[in-house]
């Protein structure tokens, strides 16, 4: 049998379906109404019964009706659609963080614990999952019909999308943006596991170290540690606790140190200089790959939370008091 709807496997699925059914019903009813009126008028006003046409010169109530009623219907479409869009664009706090790098023609998935996957994504059921996505070449689009989510994956810019899968199973992942010869082959699978199986799958990853630890290693290899020291003596800002916080720049404006800000600071360091520092940092454009940039961001992120939760291995000592940070 040809299935009318893809399986509904996420918490958003039914909201999207309901809107879709509403759209089809309203437009279907309007179509039927128009067809019925055409038939009725053909018969009622046919030439033999109505040889002379009535000249109607306008009717304010009628014109108001056919303006206000469709406007109201379209406003309902808009508010309903916008509420779903905003909900899909706003990941809940404490979502599981997963990084996606798209390229011609594959999906590279990176989990926080260090697991990597190609054209496959394993996620736990009943858990909010947030994807941070970027492309290393052209525009792609991450589409999971069973979750009713789709988001463009762009070069040079992070996009995020989130979902909460609520049915175990294996689902399709498609690229929904024409991206070259093998676009149609840029597919993968999403595997939703119940929490027990997910833990088992996660632990099967071997000893790769966390993604943040990979970032920490890179941070040393690229020489970032020379300037970004964990005290106040460095030539660059101390990055402990910076992630997610406002940063004061030399032009007295502030920016939030989010993924996009950190990425730009690595690739184009001269764009936004932190107040009190000189523009001496070299660009890492062409040196750090998209995967490595994400690892560095994961590391900076771990520095922000390391005071409360599980730290990166071999992390530098975090100053206890804000007043007098110790030298490492
Ligand atoms: Cu990637 Cu189409």
Decide: pTM greater than 0.95. Answer: no
Q: What is the mean pLDDT of the chain?
A: 84
Nearest 5°: phi and psi at 152?
-65, 145
Atom of ligand 1 nearest to the CA of 183: 2
Output the residue whose Cα is nearest ligand 1's atom 1.
140
What's the 180 CA to ligand 1 centre distance in angstroms?
A: 7
| Average pLDDT of the segment spanning 206-223 | 78
The response to whether residue 179 sits with its C-beta less than 6 Å from ligand 1 reads: yes
What integer pLDDT is reported at residue 319 of this predicted model?
A: 42
Atom of ligand 1 nearest to the CA of 176: 2
What integer pLDDT is reported at residue 207 of this predicted model?
A: 62
What integer pLDDT is reported at residue 121 of this predicted model?
A: 92
Atom of ligand 1 nearest to the CA of 104: 1
What's the 163 CA to ligand 1 centre distance in angstroms?
A: 21
CA 109 and chain centroid, separation: 14
- Residues 6 or more apart whose CB falls under 8 angstroms from that of 240 comprise 230, 303, 304, 306, 316, 318, 319
Question: Where is pLDDT greater, at 307 or 232?
Answer: 232
User: pLDDT tens for residues 291-326?
Assistant: 888 888 888 888 876 554 444 444 444 444 444 433
User: pLDDT tens for residues 138-168?
Assistant: 999 999 999 999 999 999 899 999 999 998 9
The response to whether residue 183 sits with its C-beta less than 6 Å from ligand 1 reads: yes
Atom of ligand 1 nearest to the CA of 139: 1
User: pLDDT tens for residues 90-106?
Assistant: 888 888 999 999 999 99
The response to whether residue 175 sits with its C-beta less than 6 Å from ligand 1 reads: yes
Q: Is the pLDDT reported for residue 111 higher than 70?
A: yes
What's the 177 CA to ligand 1 centre distance in angstroms?
A: 5
Q: Is the pLDDT reported for residue 279 higher than 50?
A: yes
What's the 285 CA to ligand 1 centre distance in angstroms?
A: 24
The response to whether residue 178 sits with its C-beta less than 6 Å from ligand 1 reads: yes
Question: In the chain, pLDDT over 90 holds for what percent of residues?
Answer: 39
The response to whether residue 78 sits with its C-beta less than 6 Å from ligand 1 reads: no
What's the 135 CA to ligand 1 centre distance in angstroms?
A: 10
């Amino acid at each position: 049998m040809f299935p009318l709807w893809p399986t509904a496997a996420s918490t958003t699925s039914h909201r999207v379906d309901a809107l879709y059914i509403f759209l089809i019903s309203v437009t279907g009813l309007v179509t039927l109404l128009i067809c019925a009126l055409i038939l009725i008028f053909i018969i009622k006003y046919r030439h033999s019964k109505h040889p002379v046409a009535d000249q109607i010169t306008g009717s304010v109530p009628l014109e108001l009706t056919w303006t206000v009623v469709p406007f109201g219907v379209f406003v309902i479409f808009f508010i309903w659609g916008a509420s779903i869009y905003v909900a899909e664009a706003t990941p809940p706090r404490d979502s599981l963080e997963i990084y996606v790098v798209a390229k011609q023609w594959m999906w590279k998935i990176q989990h926080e614990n260090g697991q990597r996957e190609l054209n496959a994504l394993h996620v736990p059921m009943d858990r909010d999952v947030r994807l941070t996505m970027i492309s290393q070449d052209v525009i792609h689009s991450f589409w999971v019909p069973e979750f009713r989510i789709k988001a463009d994956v762009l070069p040079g810019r992070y996009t995020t999308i989130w979902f909460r899968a609520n049915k175990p199973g294996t689902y399709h992942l498609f690229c929904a943006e024409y991206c070259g010869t093998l676009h149609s082959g840029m597919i993968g699978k999403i595997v939703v596991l119940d929490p027990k199986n997910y833990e088992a799958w996660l632990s099967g990853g071997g000893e790769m170290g966390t993604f943040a630890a990979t970032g920490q290693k890179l941070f040393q290899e690229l020489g970032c540690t020379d300037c970004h020291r964990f005290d106040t003596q460095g030539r660059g800002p101390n990055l402990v606790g910076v992630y997610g916080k406002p940063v004061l720049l030399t032009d007295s404006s502030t920016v939030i140190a989010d993924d996009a800000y950190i990425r730009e600071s690595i690739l184009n360091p001269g764009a936004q200089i932190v107040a009190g520092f000189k523009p001496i940092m070299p660009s890492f454009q062409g040196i750090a790959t998209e995967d490595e940039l994400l690892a560095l961001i994961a590391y900076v992120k771990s520095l922000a939370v390391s005071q409360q939760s599980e730290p990166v291995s071999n992390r530098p000592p975090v100053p206890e008091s804000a007043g007098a940070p110790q030298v490492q």
